[in-house]
Amino acid sequence: MEKLDGTMTDTMTDFGAFFIPGPTEVRQEILAAMTKPMIPHRSSEFEELFARLQAGLRYVFQTDRPVYIVAASATGMMEAGVRCARPGPVLSLVNGAFSERFAHIAEMCGRAVDRYEVGWGQIHNSSELDAYLTRKTYSAMTVVHSETSTGALNDVRRLSDVAHSHSVVCLVDSVSGLGGAELRVDDWGLDYVLTGSQKALALPPGLAFSTSR
């Protein structure tokens, strides 16, 4: 790769740090751990590892519920949330690229989707949401906690409370929020929260996590 001074480099590290939403830098001790030999997935060693991961993830999610771990990007958990929600239309709160993506995934799963859209960089208003949910019956609502494309931080606690007042399940994408912004699954009564490994958790890409009621 050619650098700005015309010289060549083989690695991105020669360019310095990039301040982007992710993937984030991964600590050397984590990268080193990935070079260890594989362990059998049915072994006691794996069971101990999984139990340790559950304890840590439950703390991060601030929940006593199990935290699901899958070898997928967060997209996999977005689709899982939509497919596991009860049948019916979905209201998608859109304020950027990733919240629009959540809406598109719901449509690709065969759901009828309406959008409550606000401008990029803005957040959703609980009173306006209440009006949307009063006019029509929905089975589920998708919302992005931290909209990665703009950095806008939705008040998912308040929005979820409004959804619950209309018996609507709230599916929360907190890919660039969890671990970097306050989010308390149990205390806030959140139905379903998902994240990925590559943002605030500062892990290599390729894992997704979620918890649900």
What gap in Å lies between CA 141 and CA 163, rounded to an integer?
Answer: 7
In the chain, domain spans: 38-212
The one-digit pLDDT tens for each residue of the chain (213 residues) are 444 455 544 444 555 666 666 678 899 999 999 999 999 999 999 999 999 999 999 999 999 999 999 999 999 999 999 999 999 999 999 999 999 999 999 999 999 999 999 999 999 999 999 999 999 999 999 999 999 999 999 999 999 999 999 999 999 999 999 999 999 999 999 999 999 999 999 999 999 999 999
| pTM attached to this predicted model | 0.88
Residue 8 makes CB contacts below 8 A (sequence gap 6+) with: 1, 2
Of the candidates 2, 3, 9, 20, the residue with the CA atom closest to the CA atom of residue 148: 20
Residue 24: its pLDDT value, please?
81
CA triplet 63, 121, 204: central angle to 5 degrees? 50
Longest dimension (CA), the chain: 61
Kindly state the tokens that stand for 108.
């690709």
Residue 1: its pLDDT value, please?
41
Architecture of domain 38-212: 3-Layer(aba) Sandwich (3.40)
Residue 21: its pLDDT value, please?
64
Place of tokens 């690695």: 11
Residue 3: its pLDDT value, please?
44
